[in-house]
Structure 1
Amino acid sequence: MDLATVLVVLLVAAVVVLALWVVALYNGLVRLRNLVQESWRQVDVELHRRHDLVPNLVETVKGYAAHERQVLEDVVAARSLAARPGSGVAEQATQEDALSGALGRLFALAEDYPQLRASENFLGLQRELTDTEDRIAASRRLYNANVRALNTKVEVVPSTFVAGAAGIGRAEYFEVRDPAVRARPDVSFGT
């Protein structure tokens, strides 16, 4: 073989290796994007389960605390807003924070009604809601871990060039924005 043929073969081989490398980077980005989308669907499933529990909880409380209408209406309104489809991750987090706050007021209201706190139906719903909250937290952790992996891959060189060319961007974290949740708890051992 002459020198020109060797150079052409080496150039073609280099182009093929480069193309395979770019394809591998692109496939990795698509895989991560799909993991983020899949894990968001799992968060959505758990949030939907939570939204399904709220009407039963409201109906149970309504029988005991009928004159606490505003708290019940706030819970129903927050649930309707949170269950609305088509929200982005940040908007969904804000809506879920509002629902969490309304549910917190509902449970605080239940403290004023000993018969309600003793109701098996209420206790069962409260346990199921607590279990659902734990599942939401686990799903959110998985989602945020996948977002971190995708965002890291999108931002580091050289995959950032492939991501930019392919239109694959950063994903949003699902973060708690409620100041009450983020506040430092006050601990007192009595005075």
Structure 2
Amino acid sequence: MFTALAIIAAVLVYAVIVYNGLVKSRQMVEEAWSGIDVQLKRRADLIPNLIETVKGYAAHEKSTLEEVITLRNKAQAVPAGDVAGRAQAEGMLGQALGKLFALAEAYPDLKANQGFLDLQASLETLEGEIQMSRRYYNGAARDLNVKVESFPSNLVSRNFGFTKASYFEITNEADRAVPSVKF
């Protein structure tokens, strides 16, 4: 009798430990996503300033400028919990920003403009921070996913509704390509 109670108690204690580990992992994923969201918001806030700076020099390159604005607005319109949708929209925006910087190379006065250089440096710093945030998020998602799928923690995760987290990754191969600008 005592042995049976000890086994049941051990199983319950283990289930509580696994449950708490799953909760912790889920919270880390949510915290990591929040970090990405903050960095993406900072980037989106810098884009209008960048566009205005470039506009004065490259007024006839209107389509590139409009593409960046359109993609920025699309990225901001993606629902907060849609990691895959946000990753796709941000990938397209990143490629459009690359085209914008390539376009700026054709304007020596713009390249020498301190305001443009400051904006470019800020965006480059932000891109690095987004990259770090994305790696942290994907690591937290991986840890949660391992717990959700591996035995015996999958028994607890299935019974309490824990699900896998989506990775924040570029799914469109064209988004990985170096942008090209032709005049």
**1:164 counterpart residue number:** 158
Alignment of 1:176-191 (within 5 A): 176-180=170-174, 182=176
Provide the TM-score with structure 1 as the length reference: 0.88
Q: Which residue of 1 aligns with 2:10?
A: 17
Matched residue, 2:127: 133
Q: In the TM superposition, what whole-angstrom CA distance separates every residue of 1:120-174 from its partner, at most 9, and x where no partner exists?
A: 0000000000000000000000001111111111111000010000100110000
Counterpart residue number, 1:37? 30
The separation in 1 between residues aligned to 2:144 and 2:87, in whole angstroms, is: 20
Matches within 5 A, 1:141-156: 141-156=135-150
What count of residue pairs does the alignment treat as equivalent? 177
Separation in structure 2 between the aligned mates of residue 181 and residue 162 of structure 1, nearest angstrom: 38
Corresponding residue for residue 60 of structure 2: 67
Select which of 20, 24, 42 maps to 1:27.
Answer: 20
Q: CA deviation at 1:67?
A: 1.6
- 1:4 is matched with which residue? none
* Equivalence for 1:121: 115
Q: Kindly indicate whether the alpha-carbon contact (under 8 Å) linking 2:95 and 2:175 is maintained by their aligned counterparts in 1.
A: no
Q: Does 1:95 align with 2:82?
A: no
**Displacement of 1:183:** 5.3
1:181 is displaced (CA, Å) by 5.2
Deviation (angstroms), 1:111 = 1.4
User: Per-residue deviation at 1:178?
Assistant: 3.9
Larger of the two Rg values belongs to structure: 1
Deviates more, 1:99-108 or 1:9-18: 9-18
Post-superposition CA distance 1:20-64 (Å, at most 9, x none): 111111110110011011001001111111111100000000111
Where structure 1 has 5 or more consecutive residues not aligned to the other structure, the ranges are: 1-6, 185-191
CA distance in 2, matches of 1:97, 1:123: 23
Q: Secondary structure at the match of 2:163?
A: coil
C-alpha deviation, 1:177, in angstroms: 2.5
Which moved further from structure 2: 113-122 or 169-178?
169-178
Partner of 1:173: 167
RMSD: 1.5
The question of whether the paired residues in 1 share the 8 Å contact of 2:78 and 2:86 is answered with: no
2:103 is aligned, of 100, 104, 109, to 109
Measured after TM superposition, the shift of residue 10 of structure 1 is 2.8
- Give CA deviations for 1:1-20 in whole Å, capped at 9, x if unaligned: xxxxxx2x332232222111
Contact 2:71 2:89 survives alignment (8 Å) = yes
Q: Deviations over 1:62-101 (max 9, x none)?
A: 1111121111110100011111251411100110011011
Q: Which amino acid aligns with 1:37?
A: E
